[in-house]
Amino acid sequence: MRKRIRIELKPEEMPKQWYNVKADLPFKLDPPLDPETNEPISGEKLARIFPLGVLEQEVSTDRFISIPEEVLDEYVVFRPTPLIRATKLEEILETPAKIYYKYEGVSPTGSHKTNTALAQAYLNAREGVKTLVTETGAGQWGSALAYAASKFGMTVKAFMVRASYESKPMRKYMITLFGGDVVASPSEETASGRKFLQDNGNYSGSLGIAISEAIDRVLESNSTKYSLGSVLDHVLLHQTIIGLEIRKQLELADEKASIVIGCHGGGSNFGGTVLPFVVERLEEEKVRLIAAEPTACPTLTRGEYRYDSGDSAGFTPLLKMYTLGREFIPPSIHAGGLRYHGASPLVSRLLSEGIIEAQAFEQEEIMKAGRLFASVEGIIPAPESSHAIAATIREAEDARQKNTKETIVFTLSGHGLLDLAAYG
Ligand SMILES: *Cc1c(COP(=O)(O)O)cnc(C)c1O
């Protein structure tokens, strides 16, 4: 029998800085463009929707950015998160590979999203913002931001994709519990919401539509700012605490990762997990970095690499990214958090440069992987996270067939306790 291992860091061993991979990349990213002029977007325009503290981080090229004390103080509630060896999964797969998972489900709202929510809430509160407006798909981001905003004396207004608002009420209750206000999108509350309702008769909504409504609302008022839970560089920056902790934990266990895996929606947990491994990848070409996405929303594996809008109405800056087109409305799958037409520009560029890989998975395969993981390891994974598990199982089976000694690390981005209906 293999030994059960859990690698913990003490609160005082938590990283005190986020890692900015842009300082180490041998290329410069393509800038976001103004949708009205097709020229690089001006700082003044962005400052209408984001606070300066966030914008500074978005464009920074410093290698390390200090995590504010106030944010570290809130991270201590659930960080550092554990790195656990999935020995029971290894045994049942009869694989020679070692499998470790970084468990982000211990966060107060159940996923990695709290890492950036707390950072963004603090940066907004510092500049006097009272309400954060945002979109949320299945509600993971809305609940994380409502939680974080409440820590810094703010509230949240969340436009929630109607399909989830109606079918998954639990996170709606969580947003309200933390003092937030949540409305089904498309809504009657914004001009773009009313337009979508009229033009398309589309009542089920999408993330792209909800983003349009959130930005619409932010532009109406001065005491509100917009907050995005994924995709942008500063969000991935905040999530690097995941990969930085993994590196420390592997060192403690005297291990070296050969394959690092994360599920991919907009790219924040994947980016946060793998960006701290990119330098190693550039130098030795040994460690493989794999993004796992659904075949129902195959942005990285089937999308085009081009400039596209982040939302459906075309309000956001144009981002150079893999995209299925801003009008793409993915079928409703259990992994609601992976239903986004675009991808992080940073992850997109790494993919186009061959630095990372992407794989797509059918829902049947990921739910099977999630059930197996729950039954042998004991933690019920979110359907989103199960994409990373499915990718891990494929690599572990490959290692068995080729009899290679891999050390696989994946991020279990959230628990599935609010997704039990999907398991049903
Ligand atoms: C939102 C979410 C994701 C996908 O978002 P990314 O920005 O790609 O990380 C993955 N897993 C869970 C549990 C989520 O809540």
Contact between 316 and 45 (Cβ < 8 Å): no
Mean pLDDT of 338-349: 95
Q: Which of 47-56, 270-279, 281-290, 413-422 comes out lowest in average pLDDT?
A: 281-290
Mean pLDDT of 219-248: 96
User: Which residue do the tokens 């949240």 mark?
Assistant: 156
The tally of domains found in the chain comes to 1
* 269 CA distance to ligand 1 middle (Å): 6
Residue closest via CA to ligand 1's atom 7 equals 268
Is 316 part of any domain?
Answer: yes
Residues 399, 396: Cα–Cα separation, whole Å: 5
Is 203 part of any domain?
Answer: no
Give the domain range for residue 282.
Answer: 80-111+233-423
Residues 172, 175: Cα–Cα separation, whole Å: 5
Mean pLDDT of 309-318: 88
Q: What is the DSSP letter of 80?
A: S
Structure tokens at 366: 């990921």
Query: What percent of the chain shows pLDDT beyond 70?
Result: 100
Is 163 part of any domain?
Answer: no
pLDDT in tens, 170-181: 999 999 999 999
What's the pLDDT band for 313 if we cut at 50, 70, 90? Answer: confident
Which 3 state secondary structure label does DSSP give 139?
coil
Among 106, 112, 322, 412, say which to mutate for ligand 1: greatest number of ligand atoms within 8 Å of CB.
112
| Full DSSP string of 297-365 | S-HHHH-EEEEEESSSSS-SPEEEEEES-TT------S-GGG--S---HHHHHHHHTTSSEEEEE-HHH
pLDDT at residue 138, rounded to an integer: 86
What is the CATH number for 313? 3.40.50.1100
Helix ranges restricted to H, 107-182: 114-126, 140-151, 162-167, 169-177
Contact between 370 and 416 (Cβ < 8 Å): yes
* 230 CA distance to ligand 1 middle (Å): 8
Query: What percent of the chain shows pLDDT beyond 90?
Result: 87
One-letter-per-residue 3-state SS of 22-54: HHCCCCCCCCCECCCCCCECCHHHHHCCCCHHH
Is 386 part of any domain?
Answer: yes
Is 13 part of any domain?
Answer: no
Is 401 part of any domain?
Answer: yes
Does the Cβ of 239 fall within 6 Å of ligand 1? no
Structure tokens at 204: 């089920």
Is 376 part of any domain?
Answer: yes
Residue 306 has pLDDT above 90, yes or no: yes
What's the pLDDT band for 203 if we cut at 50, 70, 90? Answer: confident
Does the Cβ of 370 fall within 6 Å of ligand 1? no
pLDDT at residue 202, rounded to an integer: 66
Contact between 392 and 90 (Cβ < 8 Å): no
Q: Supply the mean pLDDT for the chain.
A: 95
Is 205 part of any domain?
Answer: no
Among 102, 114, 263, 356, say which to mutate for ligand 1: greatest number of ligand atoms within 8 Å of CB.
263
Give the β-pairing of 407-412 and 98-103: parallel
Does the Cβ of 268 fall within 6 Å of ligand 1? yes
Does the Cβ of 168 fall within 6 Å of ligand 1? no
- Tell me the Ramachandran region of residue 369: left when phi exceeds 0, alpha when psi lies from -120 to 50, beta otherwise: alpha
pLDDT in tens, 24-40: 999 999 999 999 999 99
Residues 336, 331: Cα–Cα separation, whole Å: 10
pLDDT at residue 168, rounded to an integer: 85
pLDDT in tens, 77-123: 999 999 999 999 999 999 999 999 999 999 999 999 999 999 999 99
pLDDT at residue 200, rounded to an integer: 73
Mean pLDDT of 374-394: 98
